[in-house]
Amino acid sequence: MKTTKIIYWVTTSIICAFAFTAIGMNSEQAIKGTEHVLIPRYLGLEVSIGQLIGAVLLIVPAVPARFKEWAYVGFGIMYITAAIAHVAVGDSFVPFSLMAVIFLLLLITSYTSFHKLHAAKK
């Protein structure tokens, strides 16, 4: 159980730190990135707000499990969409889509360990 808790907090902290860092990115750099993968500016803003909300939901222990579930879904959709978007515009897989896949794997690890911890509480 202790190992599961460590795995949960490490993976969740990495995901949330990345989400908070992405929000604080230079706006010009973020605008260029979204334009590169043909995402409209308004959608980039919505994704940033969603990341902030999702990171808070995942990192705060008092948040009900149902809300955490939806945060996991949102992050999963975002990482899968990011990988597909980079491949669709012709970017090479390794530096661009691979990062999204790595974060998706971290998210899956966090999700499974969250459920193990949640089941152990009951």
- The residue ranking higher by pLDDT, 49 or 77, is 77
Structural domain boundaries in the chain: 2-121
pLDDT for 115: 94
Q: What Cα–Cα distance (Å) separates residue 19 from each residue in 16, 23, 67, 121?
A: 5, 6, 17, 28
pLDDT at position 84 over 60: yes
pLDDT tens-digit map of 6-40: 999 999 999 999 888 876 665 677 777 778 888 88
pLDDT given at position 1: 85
Residue that wins the pLDDT comparison between 77 and 24: 77
What is the rounded CA–CA span in Å between residue 94 and residue 97?
6
pTM above 0.95, yes or no: no
At 25 the pLDDT is: 60
For residue 41, the tally of other CB atoms under 10 A from its CB is 11
List, as one string, the DSSP characters of 11-76: HHHHHHHHHHHHHTS-HHHHHHHHHHTT--HHHHHHHHHHHHHHHHHHH-TTS-HHHHHHHHHHHH
